[in-house]
Amino acid sequence: MFFIIETIELPCGYYFKYKAMDKNDREYTNGEITVFWKPAKCIHATTCYRELIEVFNPRKRPWVNMNGAPTEEIIRVVKLCPTQALSFKYNKDITDNGKSKEPTIDSAHEIPELRVMKDGPLVFNGNFEITGTDGQLLKPMKIYSLCRCGASDKLPYCDGTHRKTGFKGK
Ligand code: SF4
Ligand code: FES
């Protein structure tokens, strides 16, 4: 296990550093690819298991079964994850020294996409420039997950609170 320190800016303007890979992060491999899961980024949008329950089954342990579907099908579903909690890398691209083991996030859409998540946030995927209510641009990110319910403690970002409050939104 290794750690990368990243800095992120909070909506209030403060910065803080966090470990991009923490002890809860998980890796699953079928020998051809490795799927990385970052639970801190997972908003439980259910996309992965609605698409491919044979691989992503939250009722099972481990919850990811890399033998449940062909590699290309797993990649297809990993790329649908709205927050990049899931990502993948081909094992041949992972070096032994571990330095490049952090997955390259390569799923930013060439055509920008805005997805309205049922009962959840707005997910912007692509090269967006988003201006906050203070008139300042939000920190550039490949994926923005913006709160639609108003209950997040990290506004304008979704922090998963919509699930606790039972927010309904088509
Ligand atoms: S698709 Fe991504 S965010 Fe949604 S439940 Fe799966 S891992 Fe979590
Ligand atoms: S939409 Fe997720 S916390 Fe509001």
Pick the more confident residue, 106 or 144. 144
Q: Per the domain annotation, does 166 fall within a domain? A: no
Q: What is the CATH number of the domain that holds 35?
A: 3.30.70.20
Q: Per the domain annotation, does 138 fall within a domain? A: no
Residue 150, token pair as written in the block: 């108003």
Question: Counting ligands in written order, which one lies closest to the CA of residue 153?
Answer: 2
Q: Per the domain annotation, does 112 fall within a domain? A: no
Domain that holds residue 75: 5-93
Distance (Å) of CA 133 to CA 31, 86, 107, 156: 47, 30, 28, 9
Pocket of ligand 1 (CB under 6 A): 42-48, 81-83, 85-86
State how many domains the chain has.
Answer: 1
Which tens digit of pLDDT belongs to each residue from 64-121? 999 999 999 999 999 888 888 999 999 998 876 544 454 444 444 567 878 888 788 8
Q: Tell how far the Cα of 127 is from the centroid of ligand 1, in angstroms.
A: 21
Indicate yes or no: pTM above 0.85: no
Q: Per the domain annotation, does 29 fall within a domain? A: yes
Nearest CA to ligand 1 atom 6: 48
Q: Per the domain annotation, does 64 fall within a domain? A: yes
Q: How confident is the model at residue 12 (pLDDT cuts 50, 70, 90)?
A: very low
